Amino acid sequence: MARTPLKAALRTAQKTRTAARGALLWGYEQRLAREVRAHGRLPRHLGLILDGNRRFARAAGMQRELGHTIGADKAHEVLQWCLELGIPAATIWVLSTDNAGRNSEELAHILSLLEKEARNLATDPRIHANRVRVRAIGQHDNFPPNVLAALEELEQKTAHYDGMRLNIAVGYGGREEIVDAVKAHLRAQQAAGHTLAQAADALTPDHISAHLYAADIPDPDFIIRTSGEIRLSGFMLWQSVYSEYYFCDVYWPGFRRVDFLRALRDFQGRDRRFGK
């Protein structure tokens, strides 16, 4: 019984310290936001590699499927942060062609989440109030019909919007995108009556760029990858030739607004030379 008041005092002290840390973090986050807004230079097209869902779940003692669920909620948060700052375009990489080979239960869960989130976005007031045009990019031929229908509905409902552009890269691989672009160009050349030799002789990088999945928006000038992995893993290989990269140690579900703002502040401090 003599220890009870001491334990209570320790708990109170711990709560006080936690509250103080929270207040300090909030203050720091507000200062970062002011600095980022004051600087003014933001990415025209932000790429986000959403990595670390399974490791987040494992570290927290959760089932790995919960990591993907929490990661999907985090994507909604980051969309809000982009809208608040006025970032014109963003591409989020949700599922790669390599990940399509994961175990069937995990893949089914990811596709179920994709369908759910596509239907949520199709009715999300933020999407319509901000006139966000959403498009799914990648190879989707093997997706279940219900997932394809949800993605098609989302694209149709936002196709006429002229606000922020949001690309959801799903069933996506950078090499596959380049191959698809080359195929599309060759088919166009054939339709125009050109021979294969003529098409090869006249081929330029601009011809490939014109047939990429998101050819109508600028290449990403800033790419953020979470989870501490320092590689692109095939994300927008063609378009990222002059991109700036930022690798963040935190797993995607734990990605905070303060992490987002730190990344943008880092981007604003860089001298972009475009290979020169």
Annotated binding-site ranges for substrate? 52-56, 64, 68, 96-98, 102, 225, 231-233
Burial class (CB in 10 A: 0-12, 13-18, 19+), 208: middle
Bridge partners (DSSP) of residue 96 are 172
Task: Please tell me the distance from the alpha carbon of residue 16 to that of residue 12, in angstroms, as a whole number.
Answer: 6
Place of tokens 């378009």: 239
User: Catalytic one among 73, 99, 206, 271?
Assistant: 99
Query: ∠ CA 182-188-190 to the nearest 5 degrees?
Result: 105
The string over 235-269, giving b where at least 16 C-beta atoms fall within 10 Å of a residue's C-beta and e elsewhere, is bbeebbeebbbbbbeebbbbbebebbbbbbeebbe
Q: What angle separates helix 257-268 from helix 64-85, to the nearest 10 degrees? A: 50
User: Catalytic one among 51, 124, 219, 259?
Assistant: 51
Annotated binding-site ranges for Mg(2+)? 51, 244
Task: Please tell me the distance from the alpha carbon of residue 135 to that of residue 156, in angstroms, as a whole number.
Answer: 9
DSSP class per residue in 156-219: HHHTT--S-EEEEEEEE-HHHHHHHHHHHHHHHHHHTT--HHHHHHH--HHHHHTTSTTTTSPP
Q: Does 201 participate in catalysis according to the annotation? A: no
Number of Cα atoms under 13 Å in the Cβ half of residue 56:
23
Tokens found for residue 124: 């999300």
Task: Please tell me the distance from the alpha carbon of residue 58 to that of residue 187, in angstroms, as a whole number.
Answer: 46
70, 56 contact by CB (below 8 A): yes
Annotated binding-site ranges? 51-56, 64, 68, 96-98, 102, 225, 231-233, 244
Q: Does 51 participate in catalysis according to the annotation? A: yes
For the annotated catalytic residues, the residue numbers are 51, 99
